[in-house]
């Protein structure tokens, strides 16, 4: 029983991390049809700069972590908005060029990060409570999982409120359904593109800082590793569906944890098999719209 509880809650924690990356990917694809392979770079640069500022302010404390998170969110939002404004905006409806540019940006930035911070992981200090465990039904749960889950729930709630309660949210929801009709109502839908990139970048930025808490280090490849699973989650959840991304994040991460424990470390393989199964049986994903 304790093992199942442990796997479930650690799976939820990992799922929270996947969701923070996948939420932006899903919104960006849903509204703009852009598969943003550079999304992992938003996460990595945010993790590095968040760590750099946080450790200078107060290393290994809650205050330092809070500063890291704020810097990470801001960096993620700014870098993502600049990427949209300077690179992607010129390439709407040119999907191959978009993919080439974002893949190129992702490769170039990893090389840049390696040049600045080196190729080896840099281990980070965390507040003491995050290094401890809490016992639930006999299972000793690492405390950082609770932080990840709480942050993901807050981000999910914040994005849902934004989408439901604001005019820009309304435009984005309508744009995900039918972008051309939004413009035919006299709305400059492209303005909301930058905003969606910024929101996705901010979530990825927070994800980057939390990933450094989860893994205990920052590295130039932090974003690349998480991006693969975030893409899988986005496809399984249904491209463009925020709820789908949230549900799929939890399903994939929990499945991964159980497979790793009970099937001899085959978590990644099982996730890929699950992706193939979803693509074969339900190509639009769990909650995606019918093409």
Partner 1 sequence: MSEPASEPILVVDALSGRIAGQQVIEDIAFEVPATGVTALLGRNGVGKTSTIKSILGLIERTGDVRLAGERIDALPTHRIVQRGVGYVPEDREVFGQLTVAENLRLAERDAAPRRELVERLFPDLVARRAQRAGTLSGGQQQMVSLARALVNENRLLLVDEPTKGLAPRIVDEVAVALAEAAQTVPILLVEQNLRVVRRLAERVVVLSGGRVVFTGTAVEFLDDEELIHRHLGVHDASEAA
Stretch that binds partner 1, among 17-25, 89-97, 136-144, 176-184 (CB under 8 A): 176-184
Stretch that binds partner 1, among 25-33, 59-67, 73-81, 186-194 (CB under 8 A): 186-194
Quick one: which of 178, 269, 277, 279 contacts partner 1 (CB under 8 A)?
178
Query: Does 171 contact partner 1 by CB under 8 A?
Result: yes
Quick one: which of 77, 152, 182, 206 contacts partner 1 (CB under 8 A)?
182
Query: For 233-282, what is the HEC assignment?
Result: HHHHHCCCCHHHHHHHHHHHHHHHHHHHHHCCCCHHHHHHHHHHHHHHHC
Write down the least CB distance from residue 291 to partner 1, Å: 14
Closest residue by Cα to residue 190 from 24, 31, 26, 76: 31
Q: How many angstroms separate the first and last alpha carbons of the chain? A: 42
Query: Does 184 contact partner 1 by CB under 8 A?
Result: yes
Total binding residues toward partner 1, as defined by CB under 8 A: 17
- Give the pair of three-digit tokens for residue 265: 């470390």
Binding positions for partner 1, 188-227, rule CB under 8 A: 188-189
Give the whole-angstrom CA distance, residue 142 versus residue 140. Answer: 7
Binding positions for partner 1, 123-162, rule CB under 8 A: none
* Phi, psi dihedral angles at 239 (to 5 degrees): -55, 125
Give the whole-angstrom CA distance, residue 76 versus residue 78. Answer: 6
Closest residue by Cα to residue 240 from 96, 91, 20, 25: 25
Closer to partner 1 by CB, 171 or 253: give it. Answer: 171
Closer to partner 1 by CB, 93 or 280: give it. Answer: 93
Write down the least CB distance from residue 141 to partner 1, Å: 37
Stretch that binds partner 1, among 11-19, 116-124, 184-192, 204-212 (CB under 8 A): 184-192
Query: Does 172 contact partner 1 by CB under 8 A?
Result: no
Give the whole-angstrom CA distance, residue 253 versus residue 274. Answer: 12
Write down the least CB distance from residue 239 to partner 1, Å: 15
* Phi, psi dihedral angles at 40 (to 5 degrees): -65, -30
Site of interaction with partner 1 (CB under 8 A) = 167, 170-171, 173-174, 177-178, 180-189
């Amino acid at each position: 029983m304790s093992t199942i509880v442990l796997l479930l809650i650690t799976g939820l924690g990992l799922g929270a991390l996947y969701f923070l990356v996948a939420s932006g990917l899903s919104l960006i694809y849903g509204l703009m049809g852009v598969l943003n392979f550079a999304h992992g770079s938003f996460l990595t640069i945010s993790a590095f700069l968040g760590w750099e500022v946080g450790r200078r302010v107060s290393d290994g404390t809650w205050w330092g972590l809070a500063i890291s998170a704020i810097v990470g969110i801001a960096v993620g939002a700014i870098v993502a908005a600049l990427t949209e404004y300077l690179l992607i905006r010129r390439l709407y409806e040119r999907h191959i060029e978009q993919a080439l540019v974002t893949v190129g940006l992702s490769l170039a930035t990893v090389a840049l990060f390696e040049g600045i911070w080196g190729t080896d992981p840099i281990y980070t200090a965390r507040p003491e409570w995050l290094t401890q465990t809490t016992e639930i039904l006999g299972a000793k749960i690492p405390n950082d999982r609770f932080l990840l889950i709480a942050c993901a729930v807050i981000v999910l709630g914040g994005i849902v409120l934004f989408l439901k309660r604001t005019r820009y949210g309304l435009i984005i929801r309508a744009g995900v359904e039918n972008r051309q009709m939004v413009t035919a109502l006299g709305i400059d839908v492209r303005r909301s593109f930058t905003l969606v990139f910024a929101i996705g970048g901010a979530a990825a930025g927070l994800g980057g800082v939390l990933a450094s808490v989860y893994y205990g280090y920052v590295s130039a490849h932090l974003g690349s590793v998480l991006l693969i699973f975030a893409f899988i989650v986005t496809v399984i959840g249904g491209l463009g569906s925020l709820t789908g991304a949230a549900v799929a994040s939890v399903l994939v991460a929990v499945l991964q944890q159980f497979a790793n424990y009970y099937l001899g470390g085959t978590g990644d393989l099982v996730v890929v098999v699950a992706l193939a199964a979803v693509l074969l049986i339900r190509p639009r994903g769990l909650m995606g719209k019918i093409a």
